[in-house]
Structure 1
């Protein structure tokens, strides 16, 4: 594996650590995407599947 600081293909001249900065442009954009997804409701189909899983675990005696 090539270390980001030794990758000669970058060409931007920016330090590799800047690409991983959570407060940098990429980090802010990812956070904005996450914030939108986080506020979306959980689909009913997923809730139904989770309920079925809980029921199967209770029947198997594996309930927490």
Structure 2
């Protein structure tokens, strides 16, 4: 399994799950296009990896172990 570089992983999120983009909570108004961009980003990161990518990642992990 690949780990997050520099300890940037989210310890509350199960391994293999992408981070979710959340709206601002600091009281600042966000631009009108931000909600649509957030939805698009979240839909893309939730798409499954193609099998060819999974195979490549597995080979890279195996090379690091050996």
Q: Scaled by the length of structure 2, what TM-score is found? A: 0.49
After TM superposition, which residue ranges in structure 1, 4 or more long, deviate above 3 angstroms? none
The structure whose residues are more often helix, as a share, is 1
Task: String of CA shifts for 1:10-54, please: whole Å, max 9, x gaps.
Answer: xxxxxxxxxxx7732221121011121122111111110110001
Aligned Cα RMSD in Å?
A: 1.9
Unaligned stretches of 5+ residues in structure 1: 1-20, 60-64
Q: Which has the higher contact order (CA 8 A, sep 6+)?
A: 2
- Find the aligned partners of 2:35 and 2:53 in 1 and give their Cα distance: 29
Larger Rg belongs to: 1
